[in-house]
Chain A
Amino acid sequence: MIRPLEHILIPLGLLAVGGLLGWSFFLAVTGDAGERLAPIALARVPDSGVSNPVTSVLLNFRAYDTLLEFAVLLAALLGIWSLGSSGTGFQPAASVLDGMVAGFVPLLILSAGYMLWVGAYAPGGAFQAGALLGSAGVMLALAGHRNAGLPSEGRLRILVGLGVFVCALTGLLLMLFGDGFLTYPAGFAKWLILTIETAATLAIGATLAAAYLGGRPAAHPTTGETA
Chain B
Amino acid sequence: MIDALPLAVTLPLIGAFAVTVSPLHARGLGLMAAVLTVASALSVTATVWSDGVLRADLGGWGVPLGIALEADGLSAAFLAMANTVALAVSVYAGGYFKQESARHFWPLWLLLWSALNGLFLAADLFNLYVTLELLGLSAAALGAITGTREAVAANLRYLLVGLLGSMSYLLGVSLVYAAYGVLDIGLVAEAIEPGPIAWTAMTLMIGGLILKAALFPMHFWLPPAHANAPAPVSAALSALVVKAAFYLALRLWLDVFAPVLNEAAANLLGILGAAAVVWGSWRALRAERLKLLAAYSTVAQMGYLFIAFPLLAATPPGLARDNLLAAVVLLALTHGFAKAGFFLAAGMVQKTAGHDRIDDLGGAAQALPAATFAIGLAGVALIGLPPSGTFLAKWVMLEQAMILGLWWWLVVMMVGTLLAAAYIFRVLSRAFNREPTPYRFVNDARTELPALLLGLIATFGLGIAAQPLWVLLEQGAFG
Judged by a CB distance under 8 angstroms, whether A198 is at the interface is no
In the assembled complex, the Cα of A210 lies from the Cα of B23 at a distance in Å of 18
Query: Are A71 and B196 neighbours in the complex by a CB distance under 8 Å?
Result: no
Contact B64 A40 (CB under 8 A): yes
A184 to B183 alpha-carbon distance, docked (Å): 22
Segment from A27-35, A87-95, A105-113 that makes contact with B: A27-35
CB of B10 within 8 Å of the partner chain: yes
User: Is A99 interfacial (CB 8 A cutoff)?
Assistant: no
Q: Does B67 sit at the interface, judged by CB under 8 A?
A: yes
User: CA A175 – CA B59 in complex, angstroms?
Assistant: 10
B138 located at the interface, meaning its Cβ lies under 8 Å from any Cβ of chain A in the complex? yes
- Across the interface, do A171 and B6 meet the contact criterion of CB distance under 8 Å? yes
Which B residues touch A84, using CB under 8 A? 147
Contact for A180 among B1, B130, B180, B182, CB less than 8 A? B1
Contact indicator A79/B175 (Cβ below 8 Å): no
Q: Please give, as numbers and ranges, the residues of chain A lying within 8 Å of B20 by CB-CB distance.
A: 74, 78, 157, 160-161
Residue pair B134, A71 in contact (C-beta under 8 Å): yes
Q: Is B404 an interface residue (CB 8 A)?
A: no
A67 at the B interface (CB under 8 A): yes
Contact A78 B111 (CB under 8 A): yes
Q: Which residues of A contact B152 (CB under 8 A)?
A: 83
Q: Which residues of A contact B108 (CB under 8 A)?
A: 75, 78-79, 82
Note all chain B residues with C-beta closer than 8 A to A157.
Answer: 20-21, 23
User: Is A2 close to B, CB under 8 A?
Assistant: no
Say yes or no: A75 contacts B138, CB within 8 Å: yes
Q: Which of B11-19, B266-274, B425-433, B457-465 contacts A (4 or more CB under 8 A)?
A: B11-19
With both beta carbons as reference points, the residue of chain A lying nearest to B198 in the complex is identified as A24
Question: Which B residues touch A194, using CB under 8 A?
Answer: none
When the two chains form their complex, are residues A61 and B14 in contact, meaning their CB atoms are under 8 A apart?
Answer: no
A60 and B66 CA atoms in complex are apart in Å by 8
Name the interface residues of B45-59: CB closer than 8 Å to any CB of A. Answer: 56-59
**Assuming A82-B145, A158-B21, A180-B60, is B16 touching A74 (CB within 8 A)?**
yes
Q: How far is the CA of A172 from the CA of B108 in the complex (A)?
A: 21
In the bound complex, do residue A61 and residue B10 qualify as a contact, i.e. CB atoms below 8 Å apart?
no
Given contacts A68-B130, A78-B111, A179-B60, contact A62 B178 (CB under 8 A): no
Most buried by A among B127, B141, B182: B141
Stretch at the interface among A139-147, A162-170, A217-225: A162-170
15 contacts between A and B (CB under 8 A): A24-B197, A25-B175, A35-B181, A37-B65, A37-B177, A44-B65, A62-B66, A65-B67, A74-B111, A83-B144, A161-B16, A161-B20, A168-B10, A180-B1, A180-B56
Determine if B160 is an interface residue (Cβ-Cβ < 8 Å).
no
Q: Which residues of B contact A (CB under 8 A)?
A: 1-3, 6-7, 10, 13-14, 16-17, 20-21, 23, 56-61, 64-67, 104, 107-108, 111, 114-115, 118, 126-127, 130-131, 133-134, 137-138, 140-141, 144-145, 147, 152, 171, 175, 177-183, 191, 195-197, 200-201
A60-B183 CB under 8 A given contacts A78-B104, A82-B141: no
Least CB distance, A46 to chain B, in whole angstroms: 13
The size of the chain A interface, using a CB distance under 8 A, is 55
> Is the pair A25, B178 in contact by a Cβ cutoff of 8 Å?
yes
| A12, CB-defined interface residue at 8 Å | no
State the 6 A-B residue pairs at the shortest beta-carbon distance, nearest first: A79-B141, A36-B181, A183-B60, A28-B179, A82-B104, A24-B200
Most buried by A among B17, B23, B175, B201: B17
Of A36, A72, A78, A168, which one neighbours B14 at CB under 8 angstroms? A168
- B201: nearest chain-A partner, CB-CB: A24
B23 proximity list for chain A (CB < 8 A): 157
B65 CB → nearest A CB, Å = 5
B197 contacts A27, CB within 8 Å? yes
Least CB distance, B127 to chain A, in whole angstroms:
6
A37–B184 Cα gap in the complex (Å)?
A: 11
User: A37 touching B183 by the CB < 8 A rule?
Assistant: yes
Interface residues of A in 40-67 (CB under 8 A from B): 40-41, 44, 60-65, 67
B150 to chain A, nearest CB (A): 14
Interfacial chain B residues near A27, Cβ < 8 Å: 179, 195-197
State which of A34, A37, A176 has its C-beta within 8 Å of the C-beta of B191. A34
Is the Cβ of A175 less than 8 Å from the Cβ of B1? Answer: yes
Complex CA gap A158/B64 in Å reads 35
A65 CB contact (under 8 Å) in B7, B104, B127 = B127
CB distance from B451 to the nearest CB of A (A): 25
Residue of B65, B104, B140, B201 most packed against chain A (CB within 10 A): B65
Q: Whole-angstrom distance between the alpha carbons of A84 and B177 in the complex? A: 41
CB contacts (< 8 Å) of A117 on chain B: these are none
B138 cross-chain contacts in A, Cβ below 8 A: 75, 79
Q: Is B134 a contact partner of A176 (Cβ separation < 8 A)? A: no
Cβ of B140: which chain A residues have Cβ within 8 Å of it?
79
Residue of B6, B21, B179, B201 near A181 (CB, 8 A) is: B6
Chain B residues contacting A76 (CB-CB under 8 Å) are 137, 141
